[in-house]
Structure 1
Amino acid sequence: MTRLFNQPEDFVDEMIEGFAAAASRWVQPVPGGVVRAGRAAEPTVSLVIGGGSGHYPAFGGLVGPGLAHGAVMGNLFASPSARQVRSVARTADQGRGVLLSYGNYAGDVLHFDEAQAELREAGMDVRTVTVTDDIFSAPKGEEHKRRGIAGDLTVFKVAGAACEEGYDLDGVERVAIRTNARTRSLGVAFGGCTLPGADAPLFEVPAGRMAVGLGIHGEPGIDEVDIPTAAELGELFVRHLLEDVPEGVDPEGARVVPLLNGLGSVKYEELFVVYRSIHTLLTGRGITVVDPEVGELCTSFDMAGCSLTLLWLDDELERLWTAPADSPGFRRGQVGEQQRVDAVVADDAAETVGASSPASRACATTIVEALDAIARTIDEHADELGRLDQVAGDGDHGIGMQRGSHAGRDAARAALEQDAGAETVLRHAANAWSDRAGGTSGAIWATILKAFGAALGDDARPGTGDISRGVTAAKDAVMQFGKAKVGDKTMIDAIVPFSDELSARAGDGEELAGAWAAAAAASTRAATATASLTATLGRARTHGEKSVGTPDPGAVSFALICTTVADIIASRQDDQEGP
C-alpha cells in the first residue's frame, strides 16, 4: 500500500513538484506536466506523451533527449484534461509539429483528441498515435480496440529517436504507427495496488492465484490461474505472445526486443529469474534477442505483477530503438549536447467574466447552491461509487467525481463573486471539473456543464422550457463526444431517460420542480437497470461479463446528482424564488 503522503488529494501535485526538483537536469515543470530542460541546436518535431500518474517512469520519467519533449501528467490513474494537454504541447512545440502519443484509454482519447482539435484550429500541425499493445484486451482483428500498457515505451522510444534524427512529422508519425503495429504485451498480477489514503487495494486476487490480462490502472485481470513457477510464467508469456505475432512477421529468424516490466512490488531479482526462461524460450525458437530491458518501465503503484512486451524489429526500428536516450527513467548511450532553455509557457486565455443580467445572476446563485449540494452528495457516496467501479474498472470513479465536483463548486463560487451569470458560472465550473477530475467522467461532466450553460446564457432567468432545452443540448453533446448510445452501459443510459422525461413534461407545461423530480426518478430507475447490461465501451468493456449484476457507476452518479438538484429546485420553489 502507499504509506508516504500528506493529504491524498494533494499527492499528485506534490509528487510532480518533487519529481521536477529531483530531475531538474532533464525536465522543468509547466502547467499540466513537464517539458525538457534543454534543446538540441536545431529545432525538431516534438513528441508529447502522457496519461494518468502512478506509472513512473511513465510518463514524466521518459522526458529527455532521444525520448519525449514533454509529458502531460494527469491525476492518479486519470487522464489529464484537454487544457493540460494544450499547455504541455504548446510549450514543447518547436515549430515543426507535435506528435501526441499515449495509451488507448477512453478518457485519454477524449481529452487528447479535444486538445488536438483545438491546437489544429490554432494553426499547429498535431498528429496522434495511440498505443494498443495489450493482447488480452481485444482479440485479433480488433487491435485498434486494445489498450496500451508497457508497450508504450517502444513507441515513445522509436518516435523520440526519429525526432532526434531530424525526421519530419510525417516520418515520426509513420515509425510510431509501425512500432505500435509490431508491439505486443501481456500482463499478470498477484495482487492489486492501493492508492494514497485508500484502505483497500483496487482489486484482490485469491491466495495462490494469479490474474492474467490486467490493465495498469488497477483493472482486474481477464483470466485467473494458479500461481506458476518463474519458468512457467516465462512460458505463459512467450506462448501467448507468439500466438499473436504481428502480420508480416515470421518469428523464425526474426529480431525482437523483450521488455520484462515490473508493475511495482515484484523485485528485480524475481524479474531476472523470469527473464532467464523468456530468453531461453525465444532463442530456442530461432529468434534473435536485441537489447532487452528488465525492470520498472510502466508501473501501477504497488501492484504485485509484471508484464512482457515484444517489439518485432526491422532495420529502421532497430536503429531507432538502439539510438542514444537520456531521461530520468530510461538511459542508453551518449546523447548530443543540449542547451539549457527555460520553458516559455503559452497560457490559455484567462477565464473571463462578462456582463450579466440580475436575473441570470439569481439563476447563477441557485446553480452554485446546487453544485455545493452535489459535492456533498458525491462525498457521501464516493466509497460506494468506487466499489461499483472496481467490479469491471479501476475503482477510481468516486475519487474522480469528488475531485471534479469540489473543483467545479469552487470555480463556480469564485465566478459568482465576480457577478457572473448562469452560463459563465457553469463554464468556469466545467473547466475546473475537467482539469481536476481528468478521466472520462471529467471530460463528460465538462461537456454537460458547458452545453447546459450555453443554452441558459447570461442575460435572463431561464424558464422550464429553456432548462429542458439545455439538458437536451447536454445529452446530444455527450453522445456526440463520447459516441455512446443507450445499452452500452455508460452514463448515457441514465442521461437519455432523464432528458426525455424532462422534455416531455416541459412540453406539457408542467412546472420545473415536478418535471425535474420525475426526470430524476426516471434516471434513477434507468441507472439501476444498467446492472443487467454488459459493458461495451470504456475500461469496463474489457471485463464486460464481470459487469453484469452491477450498475454502471457513471449512470449511478449522474442519477444521484439529478436527485440532489431536484431537492434544490424544490426548495427554491418553496421559497418562491424559482430556478
Structure 2
Amino acid sequence: MTYLVNDPKQFAADSLTGMVAANEDYLTEVHGGVTRATDSPQGEVAVIVGGGSGHYPAFAGWVGPGMAHGAVCGNIFASPSASQVESVVRASDHGGGAVLLFGNYAGDRLQFGAAQSPLRADGIDTRIVTISDDIASDTPQNWKDRRGIAGDLFVVKAACAAAAAGRDLDAVEAAANKANEATRSMGVAFTGCTLPGADEPLFTVPEGEYALGLGIHGEPGISSHKMDTAEGIATLLVERVLAEEPARTAGGYDGHVAVLVNGLGATKYEELFVLYGTVKKLLTEHGLTIVHPIVGEQVTSLDMAGVSLSLMYLDPDLEELWLAPGDSPAYKTGSVTAGQRREVVAHDEKVAIRAGSPESAAQAEELLPLLQALADMSSANEASLGKLDSIAGDGDHGQGMVLGSTAALKAAKQAVAAHAGTSTLFDVAGAAWSEGAGGTSGALW
C-alpha cells in the first residue's frame, strides 16, 4: 500500500508538484501536467505523452531534451481531461505541430481526441498515435486494438528522436506508428496494486501463483499459473513475445531487437537482473542481437509486484532512433545539449459566465439540487463504486465520480451566482466534471 499520503484525492497532483520541484532543470509545471523547462528549436515537432498517474516514470519522467516536450498527467489510473491536454500542447508548441502519444484506453482516446479539434482550429496541427503493444489484450489480427503497457517507452523514444532529428510532422507520426507496429509486450503479476488511501489491493494473486497478462491499471491478467522459477517465467515471456516476431528481410528487420525488462513498482532490481539473464540467453540462442537493453522501472503500476518483457523489432531506421541521445529525469542515453531556460505561457484562462434570461436563471437555480444530490450520493458510495469497478477495471470509479461531481457542483454554484441560464449551468458543470475526474466517465458525464 501507499504510506506517504496527504489527501488521497490529491495524491497525483501532490506527487507531480514534488517531482517538478526535484527536477527543475528539466520540467515546468503547467495546467494538466508538465512541459520542458528548456527551449526547443523553432519549428520542431512537439511530442506530447500522457495518461493516468501512478505509472512513474511514465509519463512526466520522460520529458526533456531528445525526449518528450510535454506530458499530460491525469488522476491515478484515469486519463487527463481534454482541457489539460490542450494546456500542455499549447505550452509545448514550437510551431511544428504536435504528435500525441498514449496507451490505447477508452478514456484517453475520448479526452485526447476531444482536444484535437480546438488545437487544429487554432493552427496547431495535431496527430494522435495510440500505443498497443500488450499481446495479452487481443489477438494478433487485432493488434491495433490492444492496450498499451511498457512498450510505451519504445514508441515514445522513436517519435522523440525523430522530432529531435528535425523530421517533419508526417515523418514523426510515421516513426511512432512504425515503432508501435514493431513492439510487443507481455507481463506477469505477483501481487495487485493498492490505490493511495485504500486499505486493500484492487486484486489479489493466490499464494503460490502468478497472474499472466497483467494490465497497468490494476487489471489482474488473463490466466493464473503455479509459481515458477525466474528461468521458467522468463522462458514463458520470451516464447509469447517471440510468437509474433516478424519475418527477417534484407534492409528491414534483421534480427536486431531493443529489449525492456520492466518492473511494475515493487519488484527488486536484483530480481529483474536475474530474469534478464535468462531473457538474454534465450534471445541470443534464437539468433537475435540485443541493442541497448533496459532493465528497470519505466512503466509501473503503483506498488504492484510484477514484471513485463517488451521487444521492439528493429529495422535500421528504428535502431538509429532507439540509439539517439535523450535526457530526461528517468531515461537517459547518449549526450544531449540542453537549450536555454524558457518562460512558459499559461493557457488555462477561465471563461466568463454569461447571465441568462430571468426565466432560465430561475430554472437553473431550481436544477442545482440535482447536482448536489449527485455529489452527495457519489461521496456516500465512493468505496462501493470503486469495489464494483475493480472487478472489471482499475477500481478508480468511486474516486472519479466524487472528483467529477464535486467539481461540477462547485462550478454550477458559481454559474447560479452569476445568474446563468440552464444551458450555461450544465455547460460549465460538464466541463468541470471532465476536468475534475478525467477518464472515460469524466468525458461521458
TM-score of the two chains, using structure 1 as the length reference: 0.75
Matched residue type, 1:28: T
Alignment map for 1:403-418 (pairs within 5 Å): 403-418=403-418
The superposition leaves residues 284-330 of structure 1 with CA deviations (integer Å, 9 ceiling, x where unpaired) of 11100110000000000000111000011011111110111100010
2-structure distance, mates of 1:85, 1:414: 24
Moved more, 388-397 or 267-276: 388-397
Tell me the secondary structure at the aligned position of residue 404 of structure 2. helix
Q: Output the CA distance in 2 between the equivalents of 1:337 and 1:210.
A: 43
1:249 deviates by: 6.8
Deviations 1:239-286 (Å, cap 9, x if unpaired)?
000112246679995000110000000000000000000000000111
User: Is the aligned partner of 1:18 residue 2:18?
Assistant: yes
C-alpha contact 1:387 1:395 (8 A) present in aligned 2: yes
For residues 519-530 of structure 1, the aligned pairs below 5 Å read none
Instruction: Tell me how far apart the structure 1 counterparts of residues 196 and 336 of structure 2 sit (CA, whole Å).
Output: 37
Instruction: Tell me if 1:296 matches 2:297.
Output: yes
Query: Residue in 2 aligned with 1:100?
Result: 100
- Asked if 1:212 is matched to 2:229, the reply is no
C-alpha displacement at 1:369, in angstroms?
1.0
- Give me the whole-angstrom Cα distance separating, in 1, the residues matched to 2:403 and 2:254: 52
User: Which residue in 2 is equivalent to 1:137?
Assistant: 137
Farther off after superposition, 262-271 or 375-384: 375-384
Structure 2: how far apart are the matches of 1:366 and 1:199?
Answer: 39
Whether contact under 8 Å (1:249, 1:312) holds in the other structure is: no
Structure having the higher Rg: 1
Which residue in the other structure is 1:317 paired with? 318
- Once the two structures are superposed, residues 335-390 of structure 1 have per-residue CA deviations (whole angstroms, 9 ceiling, x without a partner) of 02411111122335x32222312221222122221111111111222222111111
The one-letter code sitting in structure 2 at the alignment partner of 1:431 is A
Give me the identity figure in percent: 51
Q: What is the root-mean-square deviation of aligned Cα atoms in Å?
A: 1.5
How far the C-alpha of 1:116 sits from its partner, in A, is 0.8
Q: Which residue of 1 aligns with 2:241?
A: 241
For residues 185-222 of structure 1, the C-alpha deviation after alignment (integer angstroms, 9 at most, x for no partner) is 01110111111111111111111111111110111111
- 2:47 alignment partner in structure 1: 47
Please state if 1:287 is matched with 2:285: no
Question: Secondary structure of 1:271's partner?
Answer: helix
Indicate the residue corresponding to 1:346 in structure 2.
347
Aligned pair count?
A: 444
**Are the counterparts in 2 of residues 257 and 291 from structure 1 also a CA contact under 8 Å?**
yes
**Cα separation, 2, equivalents of 1:337 and 1:374:** 49
Alpha-carbon distance in 2 for matches of 1:297, 1:338:
25
Q: Helix, strand or coil: the match of 2:137?
A: coil
Contact 2:49–2:59 at 8 Å: present in 1 too? yes
Partner of 1:330: 331
Q: Any gaps of 5 or more consecutive residues in structure 2?
A: none
Amino acid at match of 1:159: A
1:397 matched to which residue of 2? 397
Distance 2:104 2:335 in 1: 32
Read off the aligned partner of 2:78 and give its amino acid letter: A
- Residues 417, 355 of structure 1: alpha-carbon distance in 2 compared, 3 angstrom cutoff: closer
2:253, 2:315 within 8 Å by CA — same for their partners in 1? Answer: no
Deviations 1:419-439 (A, max 9, x none): 111111111111111011011
Distance (Å, rounded) in 2 between the aligned partners of 1:84 and 1:298 = 21
- 1:165 counterpart residue number: 165
Q: Which has the higher contact order (CA 8 A, sep 6+)?
A: 2
SS at match of 1:101: strand
Aligned residue type for 1:306: V
Structure 2 CA distance for aligned equivalents of residues 261 and 222 of structure 1:
19
- How much has 1:30 moved relative to structure 2? 0.6
- 1:162-561 maps to which residues of 2 (within 5 A)? 162-246=162-246, 254-348=255-349, 350-445=350-445
Task: Report the equivalent of 1:30.
Answer: 30
Q: Secondary structure at the match of 2:307?
A: strand
Distance 1:52 1:58 in 2: 9
Residues 279, 428 of structure 1: alpha-carbon distance in 2 compared, 3 angstrom cutoff: same
CA distance in 2, matches of 1:87, 1:11: 21
- Give the TM-score normalised by structure 2: 0.97
- CA separation of 1:92 and 1:41: change in aligned 2, threshold 3 A: closer
SS in 1 for 2:20: helix
In structure 2, distance between residues paired with 1:230 and 1:347: 49
Q: Distance in 2 between matches of 1:394 and 1:414?
A: 32
Note if contact 1:252-1:287 (Cα within 8 Å) is conserved in structure 2. no
Query: Which SS does the other structure have where 1:191 is aligned?
Result: coil
Q: After superposition, give the CA deviation of every residue in 1:517-573 in whole Å (9 maximum; x if it has no partner).
A: xxxxxxxxxxxxxxxxxxxxxxxxxxxxxxxxxxxxxxxxxxxxxxxxxxxxxxxxx
State how far apart, in whole Å, the 1-side matches of 2:167 and 2:344 are: 23
Residue aligned with 2:94, SS: coil
- 5 Å-filtered alignment, 1:149-164, equals 149-164=149-164
Q: Which runs of 5+ in 1 are unaligned?
A: 446-579
Distance between the aligned counterparts of 2:74 and 2:41, measured in 1? 31
121 and 43 in structure 1: CA distance in 2 versus 1, 3 angstrom threshold: closer
**Counterpart of 1:65 in 2: which secondary structure?**
coil
Give the Cα–Cα distance (whole angstroms) in 2 for the partners of residues 83 and 40 of structure 1. Answer: 23
CA, structure 1 residues 424+11, in 2 after alignment: closer, same or farther (shift >3 Å)? same
